[in-house]
Amino acid sequence: MSNMTIYRLKFMTVMYLTAKLQKRYVMSKKKRNCFVLYSLIRTFARMREQQLNLPAYDVRMSEKDGRQTIFDFLRNRYVALTPEEWVRQHFTHFLVEHKGYPKGLLANETELRVGSKRLRCDTVLYDQSLRPRMIIEYKAPHIKIQQKTFDQIVVYNLLLHADYLVVSNGLQHYCCQMDYENRSYRFLTEIPDYDAIMPYR
């Protein structure tokens, strides 16, 4: 057998194996895409089963590195989908779309510093002068709102001195209005409209 014939056989073998590997890769990619799609549908269905005491909205979900994500319209990016994040996204959409809160004055994951310790507020509402007016703390729907939840948001408010403190697990919502002048507070029966919070903005 000549060297040219051997070369051709080796070349044909390499081409055959390459084509086979490419086919396997395409099939593997299709299977992976199908799995991702199935996983997203299953996660979305599971979340949908958890009915929240909040209006529905057009949810945008995706997948990254094998993890489900949900679009945060305040941070303008996809974030990890957790039960708590599911509540946060519904609540912030509720504030903007149903209560008239300006999207540009709401911020998620606001970082605070107490000495060397770093804390993060789930959501903060600012006024036009960028003074904090409302702090919102979220819990997953299966977590009952207890005293320690309020203790947590009070710690944040020691730094921010907001006028309103809100706690929600998507099923129950508590809104507390602070009265610093009289050193008191009162619980409201519902989440106030933006116009009620800042009527003279």
The CATH number that applies at residue 110 is: 3.90.1570.30
The verdict on residue 14 lying in a domain is: yes
- Predicted pLDDT of residue 40: 47
pTM: 0.75
Are 45 and 97 in a shared domain?
no
Are 15 and 91 in a shared domain?
no
Are 105 and 166 in a shared domain?
yes
How does residue 190 score in pLDDT terms, banded at 50, 70 and 90?
Answer: very high
Q: What is the pLDDT of residues 96-107, one digit of tens each?
A: 999 999 999 999
CB contact at 8 A, 112 and 121: yes
Burial of 151-175, coded b for 16+ CB within 10 Å and e otherwise, reads ebbeebbeebebbbbbbbbbbebbb
Q: How many folded domains does the chain comprise?
A: 2
Q: What is the pLDDT of residues 115-174, one digit of tens each?
A: 666 778 999 999 999 999 999 999 999 999 999 999 989 988 988 999 999 999 999 999
- Predicted pLDDT of residue 51: 83
Mean pLDDT of 65-87: 95
Q: Tell me which residue range forms the domain holding 118.
A: 83-197
Retrieve residue 39's tokens.
């996983």
The verdict on residue 70 lying in a domain is: no
The verdict on residue 61 lying in a domain is: no
Are 88 and 41 in a shared domain?
no
Are 30 and 96 in a shared domain?
no
Mean pLDDT of 26-49: 52
